[in-house]
Amino acid sequence: MNAPQSPAETLRAALAGLLDGLPPRQAAQAVERLIGHYRGATPTDAPILRDRADVAAYAAYRMPATFEAVRSALRAFAAAVPGWVPGGHVDVGGGTGAASWAVTATWGGVRPVTVLDWAEPALALGREVAAANPALRDARWQRSRIGAALTLESTDLVTVSYVLNELTAPDRAALVDATAAAAQAVVLV
């Protein structure tokens, strides 16, 4: 009998083939565009992840590493608070859901999960990939803009991974206020 897959293996398998349907030239252009954005001047006032090609490129090339980085931070957090298990999780600027995968890899069980992002293509692909993870099958993937109007449902854990750098100073301040008001624990990566 085969050993069960680890969450990292499940994620890699779910991401494999993401670029298959994409013409190589389009995939290469999407990767170049993303590299340009992430090296260049952020924040932006419009989503960087604009379409399926951008999102597939981001997920294929960045998501496994982002997942590992967030999992490592969460492991350290879990070790510091033994016995604490989040009863609910909100992933702000969650994109394709790397941090949500990392939460499921850190604490077993199923909990209400909400992923918020302003980029609809990222949410759509995140939902698709998450179908491979039983703990994320009922997650809600919701369009939401981080800014002064942001309000978050009350929850145990909020994650914000690789997002702060993309925000203007006022939006960053609004996010910090909203997360502090909503959660028992906030993990920023």
Ligand X SMILES: C[S@@+](CC[C@H](N)C(=O)[O-])C[C@H]1O[C@@H](n2cnc3c(N)ncnc32)[C@H](O)[C@@H]1O
Q: Which residues bind ligand X (CB under 6 A)?
A: 47, 49, 63, 66, 93-95, 98-99, 117-119, 122, 145-146, 161-163, 166-167, 171
What region, left, alpha or beta, does residue 140 occupy, with left being phi > 0 and alpha being psi -120 to 50 degrees?
beta
Percent of the chain as helix, strand, coil, to the nearest 5: 50, 15, 35
Write down the least CB distance from residue 98 to ligand X, Å.
4
Quote the distance between the C-alpha of residue 31 and its chain's center.
Answer: 18
Q: Residue 47 CB, nearest distance to ligand X (Å)?
A: 5
Residue placing its CB nearer to ligand X in the complex, 3 or 45: 45
**Both tokens of residue 78?**
């879990």
**Please, what's the largest Cα pairwise distance for the chain?**
54
How far apart (Å, rounded) are the C-alpha atoms in residues 39 and 157?
A: 30
- Nearest distance, CB of residue 71 and ligand X, angstroms: 11
Q: Which is nearer to ligand X, 23 or 51 (CB)?
A: 51
- Which of 75, 53, 57 shows the shortest CA–CA distance to 8? 75
Residue nearest to ligand X (CB): 95
CB nearer to ligand X: pick between 38 and 84: 38
**Least distance (Å) between residue 58 CB and ligand X:** 7
Nearer to ligand X, 2 or 165 (CB): 165
- Please, which residue, 75 or 145, has the CB nearer to ligand X? 145
Q: Please, what is the minimum distance in Å from the beta carbon of residue 18 to ligand X?
A: 14
Q: Residue 132 and residue 150: Cα distance in Å, rounded?
A: 30
